[in-house]
Structure 1
């Protein structure tokens, strides 16, 4: 609920402070007095896009402050939470400044805020309606959402949106799997040949290093084996060993004749012969290690080169060939299983499609039931507004499915039975349109609380009993909340619970606009002025008192 509005240096307002109340608040005044400036100023502090030049001539800046009462659980609190702006459960203060050079700065509860946040807040705080209401009831793009709110269909809309997301995800998964399977089919021959080739080779991680080491050993063994054999032969039974044995035999024969002269030499040669035997044994052992199958080197090299060739072919390290083979095998298995996977995904898509259609059909049926209820409620509302022959109808057009179902909803009217129906703003005249909008607003906001509704000359083009009916519907609407009405109709003004008169005056050569709260006697004169014009007669005052008496 809008509690107060303070305006400084905006257009032709120097300083204005207004205190609003619950119920029906009416603003009256002569044409050009500045009633629209109040709405422009309120729209400015709410972040609405409007006039480019708002600062009063000669002022450095214009400023508007609005104070709203927001009870606990109000929708505005969600916007504030998302913006990270602190608030109390009772008061919300918006302030916006427009400098003379066009810069605009806004605060919410003394916290800097963007115009985007202001506009998001405004949707939870204020609704503006008039004959040119292209942002609200006259905009067909919002009719479906209005009907859903009227019918309390939010849970069904949410269920349909959830089913749509599931359907979209199933479609996306199937398309991705089909594309992946198509890619696999294009490389099927390569995959089968590669897996067959890798399986035939059977590479093992670390095998390349082992083969390379063994190859080097075999190559080295081939080169040194001949020399080692020669060394063995040089110290063997046909070489050094034979010579030492002969030397010992000759010395031992001579030693018997020389009485031990060669004993020490014989001992040394005996030790040498033992060492020579040990060396010969070690050489033989080494030769045993160098002996290999002549074809082993060839086999080793062949496998080593095959592993390296496959690694180059597949662009991986030799040690990664086994893992790469597993990956190719998995892709081949995916290809072989692809038809089955596609079938499973198609069944899942069919189930998601069926679930979405069930949710969308249930939502559509609920919308049509709500539409019948709304059409009937509109018929009841139009009768008191002297439009009992008019027909309001909620029309449905089937559209491609989406997150909010498959219904296109448009509010249409026919001003007389049998006349063609059409969109509100294309069929109804100015006065008729005002009444249609008022009746529709009464129906749509039944039970709605916590929002301020503003009607800008919605009673234009009607008078007499019809204007009285419009005023009574506005009063009924205001009984559940707060309504601000800018009006030229004395019948509407007389039904207001709170009344302000917008006046224009000349001060120091400048034209200024002000707003005056009216007491009971002042209301009589203002309603009389609205009835008779500039010259207020006793008859006009009497008529005004009758209107004010209800």
Structure 2
């Protein structure tokens, strides 16, 4: 459930912190008092889009915090884990949204920064907001199949997953066949060129890393004379009178007198001994290196010729030898496919036909499950509509046939008849605003126990209804609150009196001539006054107060019943 929401500098709200409870909540107040701002704030914490226009005038930012208290089994914890957000299911969930005057916004979940997409994915598990214009989504027939599958989730889940896997395989094979056909038409003109290129590259007998090795060898061969001269001179210097001989004489002289001052001279003797052995080792290495220097003009010419061939191939087929080898592999594959295109096309066509048969069988199973589910959904909606003073309405889920798609071979459309003797027709052609609100409420009543969303919000869904229908909506909202936390913005006293908790939204002008909206949870006495205002308008009389008290008493009896 939503435990608390705190709002700073959003529209005309300067600062409010509102605690909530379980059950049915209503938000009431004069038109324009700012009731929808509270809903807007909740929408923002669920990932709704915000703008700088929503920030209170004169402020540089708006902040909203929502605290949710959820069971350990709620699916949102798995979503948080998958998104990499640290959260303890034994603690509350804190969502913070910030809007900046520069137009940017930020979001945090339990103090961790998240993107708007991540917040929206989490919010879908927490809050479902039904506005007074949301019934337009009922007119979108592309959503009807989605709702039907959600209703049939337990029965259809496995078969739908199997179908989706087959559909992906079918699409992949079909795409491969089409691409091969396209490549075959275009590639036949390239086949001779590909064969020539393969022969040319194969004749080169390329090896990865060969160019670097040849370049290094060429450098040594082309500078063999300079290397020999330099290394010989260095060897002579080290091994001659100025090198090892000089070090040997110096070491002998010091060893003769080391006993005179061993503390000072012994370390020097050891250093000279180390230097002598090091120079001697370097001299031997230079001697060996000099003996290995090769004077081979013929080998140098071969290397130059080989590098010229590599450079020629690089100009045609790639910037490096590795690129040329990759190109060779690619055109070899394409050439093989072109050479065997008829056999490959036949094989792919056979796979495609086989998968299409399996796909159709799976789609038929989906259709069968949906037919059963559509009848049950229609029965339950008619039952809910009867409770909402639409007793003689006929609701159907009309299944049609469509081309195979990611969802199967079915289309679905909700149709309704509100008058006996009239055939069911699409919702947009027969339902009034009040009827549409009740159809949506009937759907919400059914799906509230399926989708596990803990918070349902209804923004003036009672618009266009009155009398017994309004009372029926109020009772349905109260029943819904037994499965989840329900919020409703309403102007109807019939709805307000059925609430477990009532909040008044009101505006006031401060001493600084600034308008600000406040939210107050009403006591029982205050509820009587607010209901009397809703009943009587500007003038509240003892009769309207008495009527309000009676409505609250009757509402309590209905809830208990």
Q: TM-score by structure 2 length?
A: 0.69
From 419, 429, 433, give the equivalent of 2:432. 429
Summarize the Cα distance change of 1:164–1:331 in structure 2 as closer, same or farther, 3 Å threshold: closer
Aligned equivalents of 1:86 and 1:189: distance in 2? 60
Q: Secondary structure at the match of 2:387?
A: coil
Superposition pairs for residues 321-360 of structure 1, below 5 Å? 338-360=341-363
Superposition pairs for residues 96-111 of structure 1, below 5 Å? 96-111=97-112
2:545 aligned residue: 541
Superposition pairs for residues 400-549 of structure 1, below 5 Å? 400-419=403-422, 421-425=424-428, 427-508=430-511, 509-549=513-553
Summarize the Cα distance change of 1:407–1:62 in structure 2 as closer, same or farther, 3 Å threshold: same
| CA shift digits 1:45-97 (9 cap, x unpaired) | 33312565122223332211111123334333344334322112132211122
Q: Secondary structure at the match of 1:462?
A: coil
Q: Secondary structure at the match of 2:375?
A: helix
Summarize the Cα distance change of 1:68–1:192 in structure 2 as closer, same or farther, 3 Å threshold: closer
Aligned equivalents of 2:140 and 2:124: distance in 1? 15
Deviates more, 1:98-107 or 1:152-161: 98-107
Aligned equivalents of 1:398 and 1:460: distance in 2? 36
- Asked whether the 8 Å contact 2:52–2:99 carries over to 1, the reply is no
Aligned equivalents of 2:95 and 2:331: distance in 1? 64
2:219 aligned residue: none
- Asked whether the 8 Å contact 1:131–1:433 carries over to 2, the reply is no
Count residues with an aligned counterpart: 433
2:23 aligned residue: 23
Superposition pairs for residues 268-283 of structure 1, below 5 Å? none
Aligned equivalents of 1:159 and 1:30: distance in 2? 54
Deviates more, 1:169-178 or 1:374-383: 169-178
1:114 aligned residue: 115
Q: Secondary structure at the match of 1:142?
A: helix
Cα deviation, residue 443, structure 1: 2.0
- Asked whether the 8 Å contact 2:393–2:417 carries over to 1, the reply is yes
Aligned equivalents of 1:455 and 1:529: distance in 2? 22
Aligned equivalents of 1:50 and 1:103: distance in 2? 9
- Asked whether the 8 Å contact 2:5–2:19 carries over to 1, the reply is yes
| CA shift digits 1:195-229 (9 cap, x unpaired) | 9x99xxxx999xxxxxxxxxxxxxxxxxxxxxxxx
Cα deviation, residue 409, structure 1: 2.1
Q: Structure 1 unaligned runs (5+)?
A: 206-307, 317-326
Summarize the Cα distance change of 1:548–1:177 in structure 2 as closer, same or farther, 3 Å threshold: same
- Asked whether the 8 Å contact 2:50–2:99 carries over to 1, the reply is no
1:169 aligned residue: 172
Superposition RMSD in Å: 3.5
Superposition pairs for residues 18-417 of structure 1, below 5 Å? 18-49=18-49, 52-89=52-89, 90-133=91-134, 137-152=138-153, 153-179=156-182, 338-417=341-420
Summarize the Cα distance change of 1:343–1:389 in structure 2 as closer, same or farther, 3 Å threshold: same
Between Structure 1 and Structure 2, whose CA radius of gyration is higher? 1
Q: Structure 2 unaligned runs (5+)?
A: 206-308, 318-329, 556-561
| CA shift digits 1:260-293 (9 cap, x unpaired) | xxxxxxxxxxxxxxxxxxxxxxxxxxxxxxxxxx
